């Protein structure tokens, strides 16, 4: 009963409208101010800022500095989500995170380790099979700076996206529409569309949105089936962290001092689509077996309980 956890706070529609507006203002405007201020002090920074081109801004500031300021916007966003939930909805962080009595950090760790292992294996397999597509890019000091920034801040970035999409919006839309399928599909589509300005889309075409929307759908499914955000939090952090540290390219959002640089001609190939249509379904089976998921249809497409029904079941469970 993850969506119904919203009943533990205040659920008026105006609160969600005010909350979303507040989060966007803090995330996209206040959060971007340090980045804009840093660009304004550099030669060519104003033109890069006006263009909105991520590659140009990264070139002006340096990849690691730009990464820090870009991730800082998400830190502002995460703080905004937590403040909105606490002060506008009077809801606890625990009930925003999970339907369990406490946050299950073992689930976060398992998901993180599992996807990190798979991601690293896929990356090095591709390097082994197509060595001509990669250059060894290791430089000790820039890589160490990258590692510190990435390890400290990427989990905050991915957590902000999860708490906003699969947490706040999933619960709010579920309460408003009184079903599970709409928030699942809407947040998946929105998650994909938020990546439409990424450099990858410009290079690979709109077909890459299949990967982003598919990833959002996968994260939404594991959130609803597992009745909490823990697996999604671990998976998303592992995905972005391994990508940032191991492989970069001039045309990606994370164009940084990674271990390897992809120098191949960017094309939308199997490596972008296999995760969505092969790997993610297998992971759903793995999670399902480990955590004993059942009743898929009702959990993914069924109706959301009323407030009275939810608290009646809560009282029975506690009794």
Return the pLDDT at 316: 77
Ordered mean pLDDT values, 10 residues apiece, the chain (319 residues)? 96 96 96 93 87 81 93 97 98 97 97 97 94 94 96 98 98 97 98 85 85 96 98 97 91 82 82 88 98 97 95 78
Tell me what pLDDT residue 50 has.
Answer: 83
Extract long-range pairs of 121-125: CB within 8 Å, 24+ residues apart: 122/271, 123/242, 123/246, 123/247, 123/260
Give the span between the Cα atoms of 114 and 184, in whole angstroms. 24
CB atoms within 10 A of CB 181: 15
For the chain, helix, strand, coil in percent to 5 are 75, 5, 20
The reply to whether the predicted model has a pTM over 0.85 is: yes
Q: Collapsing DSSP states into helix, strand and coil, what is residue 254?
A: coil
8-state DSSP, 164: I
Phi and psi dihedrals of 287, rounded to 5? -65, -40
At 184 the pLDDT is: 98
Residues near 212 by Cβ (< 8 Å), separated by ≥ 6? Answer: 191, 192, 195
241 neighbors 116 (Cβ within 8 angstroms): yes
CA 140 to chain centroid: 28
* Cβ–Cβ < 8 Å for 183, 3: yes
Distance CA 42, CA 25 (A): 25
* Residue-level pLDDT at 256: 87
Residue 319: the pLDDT is 56
Q: Are 215 and 228 in contact (CB under 8 A)?
A: no
Question: In 3D, which of 98, 113, 72 has the Cα closest to residue 8?
Answer: 98
Asked whether 38 and 72 are in contact (CB, 8 A), the reply is no
The DSSP annotation for 281-316 comes to HHHHHHHHHHHT---HHHHHHSBPPPHHHHHHHHHH
């Amino acid at each position: 009963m993850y969506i119904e956890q919203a009943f533990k706070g205040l659920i008026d529609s105006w609160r969600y409208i005010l909350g979303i507006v507040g989060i966007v203002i803090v995330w996209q405007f206040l959060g971007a101010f340090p980045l804009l201020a840093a660009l304004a002090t550099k030669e060519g920074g104003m033109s890069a800022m006006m263009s909105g081109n991520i590659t140009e801004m990264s070139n002006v500031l340096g990849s690691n500095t730009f990464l820090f300021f870009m991730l800082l916007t998400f830190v502002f966003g995460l703080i905004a989500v937590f403040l909105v939930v606490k002060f506008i909805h009077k809801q606890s962080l625990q009930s925003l995170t999970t339907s369990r009595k406490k946050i299950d950090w073992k689930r976060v760790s398992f998901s993180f380790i599992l996807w990190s292992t798979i991601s690293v294996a896929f990356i090095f397999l591709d390097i082994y099979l197509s060595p001509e597509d990669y250059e060894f890019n290791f430089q000790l000091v820039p890589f160490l700076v990258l590692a510190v920034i990435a390890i400290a801040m990427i989990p905050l970035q991915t957590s902000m996206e999860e708490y906003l999409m699969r947490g706040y919006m999933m619960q709010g839309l579920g309460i408003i529409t009184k079903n599970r399928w709409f928030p699942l599909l809407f947040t998946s589509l929105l998650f994909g569309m938020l990546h439409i300005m990424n450099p990858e889309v410009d290079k690979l075409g709109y077909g890459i949105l299949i990967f982003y929307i598919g990833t959002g759908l996968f994260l939404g499914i594991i959130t609803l089936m597992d009745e909490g955000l823990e697996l999604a939090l671990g998976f998303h952090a592992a995905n972005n962290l391994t990508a940032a540290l191991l492989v970069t390219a001039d045309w990606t959002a994370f164009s940084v001092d990674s271990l390897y640089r992809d120098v191949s001609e960017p094309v939308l190939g199997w490596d972008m689509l296999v995760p969505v249509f092969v790997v993610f379904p297998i992971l759903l089976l793995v999670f399902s077996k480990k955590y004993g998921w059942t009743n898929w249809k009702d959990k993914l497409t069924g109706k959301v309980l009323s407030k009275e029904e939810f608290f009646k079941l809560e009282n029975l469970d506690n009794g």
